[in-house]
Amino acid sequence: MITIIGSTMEAASNSKQQHENNNNNNKKAIQRLHCSVKNYEWGRPCHDSLVAKIFGMNSGSQIDEDQPYAEFWIGSHVSGPSFVVSDGSQRVTLKSWLLENPNVLGEKVLEKWGGDLPFLFKVLSVDKALSIQAHPDKDLARTLHKLHPDVYKDGNHKPEMALAVTEFEALCGFVTLTEIKAVLTVPEVVELVGVENVNLVLQITDEDGEEKVKPILQTLFTEIISASKERVTVAVDRLRNRLRRESQVRQLTVQEQLVLRLEKQYPSDVGVIAAFFLNHVKLSPGEALFLGANEPHAYICGECIECMATSDNVVRAGLTPKHRDVQTLCSMLTYKQGSPEILRGVSINPYVRKYIPPFEEFEIDCGILPQGEIAVFPAVPGPSIFLVTVGEGMMNTQSPKGYPITEGDVLFVAANTEISVSSTSELHLFRAGVNSRFFQAS
C-alpha cells in the first residue's frame, strides 16, 4: 500500500509540475511590447506619419505636433529598445526578458545567435531623402566598431529589406554601363570627374564585362564624392540653374526631376550629383526591395515596413548633414551594376504573403484580412514579432486565452507557437521572423 501511494503521489506531483510548466510556457507564448520612436528630421509631420500613428496607439504617449516622426523600432537593439508589458504597468526591456527566457527563441536560434533576436523590425515614414549610404559586411563592421565605437555602435552587418506600404521611392545600386555613358553627357558631372575619366568609360564596350567597368566606376564615384565643397557647390548650382532654364522649353527626364527635388532638400550637396549614378526605384504597395552589404542606397519618400539584421551601422557620403565617411564608403562598395530585384511575395494562404530575402536573419509576412476572416500562421522553430497597422481582431494560440488586437499593437510570439488571427474589421498586420531557409538549411 505504501509503495502504491508513493508512486501515485509522485506521478501526481510530476503531472502537476508538467501542468505548471505548460501554463508558464503558455504565459510566455505571447508578450505585448511597447516600442521606441525616432524623430529624425527626414521623417513625416505627425499628422501625415504612419510612424506617429502607430507609436501613439502602441505607447499611449502624446504625439508632439512639432516633431517629424521617422522610425518606429521593434526589437532588442539598445539604440531603440522595446519593452515587455506585464500587467499593464511593469516594464522590462525585451533584451533583458529574452536573457531570462531564452527558450522562447528556439534551439536553433539560440545556437546560432545566442539569447537575442537576430533581426530588427521597423516602420519608416520618409518625407525627405535619407543619406546616400551603405552598410558594412561583418568583417568591416567589426573593424569599424573597434576603431570608432562612437560612430559604429556594434560589430554586426546590416542587410535589410523594405516592404512598401505606400508608393515608395529609393535609390539603390549603380546603373548599367549604357546608363553611365549617358550620365557622362551631363556637363556638371564631366566637370567633377574630368574628361580623361570620361574617355576611359567611353572606350569600354558591353563585351568587356562588368569586372572591367567596376574599377573605372569606382574612380568616377570616388572623384565625385571626394570633390571639394567649393567645386561641388559650383557644379550643383550650375546644374540646378541649367535644368530650371531647360524645363521652360522641354520636358525634363525623371532623373533630372529627381535631382532637382534632391537639390531643394539638400542644397549644394554632393549627393545631388551622385544620384545620377544610382538606380531610381519606385515600389508600389506590396512590393519589396532588399539591400545587401556594401550596396549604395538612399530612401527618398514614402512609407514602408523594414526589417534587417540587428545593427545600426551606417556609412554615409551624401544627402546628409551627419558624419560622412567618404573614404570608407568608396572603398567598401561592390560597384555591381543593374537594377535591383523586386520581391512581390509568395502566397502562403488566401490572405498572407511571405517575403524571403537572401539573408538568414529575417523574413516578413504581410497579412491583409477582410472582415470576418481567419488566417493561420504555422508554428516556426524561431521567434516572431507581429505588428498591427490597420483594424482589429483576435489572436489565438492553442491555449484557451485569446488576445484582442488593434492597430498599434506589437506582440512577441515564442518559437513553436501556432497563431491564428481572426478579423472583426479589415485587418492589416505584418510578421517578422527568422528566415525560413535558415531552418531548412539547418
Q: How far apart are CA 53 and CA 163, in angstroms?
A: 18
What does R_g of the chain's alpha carbons equal in angstroms?
Answer: 25
- Taking the CA atoms of 258, 261, 262 and 263 in sequence, report the sign of the dihedral they define: positive
Q: Are 385 and 434 in contact (CB under 8 A)?
A: no
Q: How far apart are CA 303 and CA 127, in angstroms?
A: 9
Within 10 Å of residue 164's Cβ, how many Cβ atoms? 21
Backbone angles phi, psi at 30, to 5 degrees: -130, 130
Alpha helices (H) in 195-253, listed in sequence order:
195-202, 210-225, 229-246
Q: How far apart are CA 213 and CA 215, in angstroms?
A: 6
Q: Are 42 and 130 in contact (CB under 8 A)?
A: yes
For residue 292, the number of C-alpha atoms closer than 13 Å in the C-beta half-sphere is 12
* Among candidate residues 116, 106, 270, 254, the one with its CA nearest the CA of residue 188: 270
Q: How far apart are CA 75 and CA 81, in angstroms?
A: 6
Stated as kind and residue range, the H or E segment containing 179 is helix 177-183
Q: How far apart are CA 146 and CA 157, in angstroms?
A: 14
For residue 177, the number of C-alpha atoms closer than 13 Å in the C-beta half-sphere is 17
Catalytically annotated residue among 240, 245, 261, 316: 316
Q: Is 86 helix (H, G, I), strand (E, B) or coil?
A: strand
* Among candidate residues 41, 304, 70, 364, the one with its CA nearest the CA of residue 172: 304
Backbone angles phi, psi at 263, to 5 degrees: -65, -35
**Catalytic residue flag (residue 316):** yes
Q: Strand locations in 75-164, DSSP E?
A: 83-86, 90-93, 119-126, 132-134, 160-164
322 strand-pairing partners: none
Q: Are 81 and 410 in contact (CB under 8 A)?
A: no
- Active site amino acids: 316
